[in-house]
Amino acid sequence: MAQAGSAAWTDHELRASVEGYVYMLRLEQNGIPCREGTADPVLRAGPLGRRNEASLRYRMRNISAVARELGGPTLAAYSPAEQVGAKVRIRIKMMLETHPIFREFLAPQGEKSPDQAGEAVDRASILEKLAFLRRHIEDFERQLAGIGHNHPPEALDPDLPQREEIERAKNVVAELETEISKQEPDAKIVTDSSRRLLDFGLKVALWIGQRATKFVDAALTTAAPIAVVTAATDLLPAVIDVVKNETRFFVP
């Protein structure tokens, strides 16, 4: 039997790698730094469980090579590695070319909005964004509530965020609201909590990416799954917006 590091990469694994890569690009584009391995814990605890750190790192470098070939941005932590099989390169290229977020990176960039240009971030605005994020998490939770009863196939989806993960995300938001409300918030507590939020965001992004490939199955294109994807898609920018503004609040 082939070892994990040498076994052929499935489409599921490649899709997860691309989703993780694009997610980190979204963070960097919003001023949230990503180090090598930022997404590894979530990826290797889920869809890339049979891959070791070296294998995943090299795959991310392969994605950098293809992203650069397409004229898109690349992650600073992963220098492009061109040594990738022709068939795998074609699959990665297709996944990037059809990824809605990566395609936005390829579009001509206009002038920065006032917020991107460096508008001041204060405590009140962060608390407002946290409240906004909490509402999105609760909406996502409500959409998930009916899946197990009305749409049994979805309950078996291994990439679907579990309800306990959603509950933990709500608890993280509450912890951040408490800490940010203090006269002198503890930057370490905020950083640790923000990292947990980003891990949750990656979990949601992975599910969206894998779920999109299943829409070809007519049995799964019912209203509830689509509503769940919509709620998840709306949730991601809210997660990134919170962490972006917290980062700017503590590191002007």
Verify that 147 and 239 share a domain, yes or no.
Answer: yes
In a domain, 117, yes or no: no
In a domain, 115, yes or no: no
Are 37 and 53 a contacting pair, CB within 8 Å?
A: yes
Verify that 101 and 129 share a domain, yes or no.
Answer: no
Residue with the larger pLDDT of the pair 108 and 142: 142
In a domain, 111, yes or no: no
Whether the predicted pLDDT of 197 surpasses 50: yes
Verify that 18 and 62 share a domain, yes or no.
Answer: yes
| DSSP-assigned states of every residue in 14-83 | HHHHHHHHHHHHHHHHTT----TTTTHHHHHHTTTTT--HHHHHHHHHHHHHHHHHTT----TTS-----
Verify that 204 and 89 share a domain, yes or no.
Answer: no
Verify that 129 and 240 share a domain, yes or no.
Answer: yes
Whether the predicted pLDDT of 40 surpasses 90: yes
Domain that holds residue 37: 11-106
Per-chain mean pLDDT for the chain: 85
Average the pLDDT over 74-90 and give the result: 94
Q: What is the pLDDT of residues 98-119, one digit of tens each?
A: 999 999 999 775 544 444 444 5
Average the pLDDT over 206-213 and give the result: 79
Q: What is the pLDDT of residues 118-139, one digit of tens each?
A: 456 889 999 999 999 999 999 9
In a domain, 1, yes or no: no
| The pLDDT of residue 94 | 96
Verify that 145 and 67 share a domain, yes or no.
Answer: no
Verify that 101 and 38 share a domain, yes or no.
Answer: yes
Average the pLDDT over 65-71 and give the result: 97
CB atoms within 10 A of CB 4: 12
Domain count within the chain: 2
Verify that 139 and 74 share a domain, yes or no.
Answer: no
Its pTM stands at 0.86
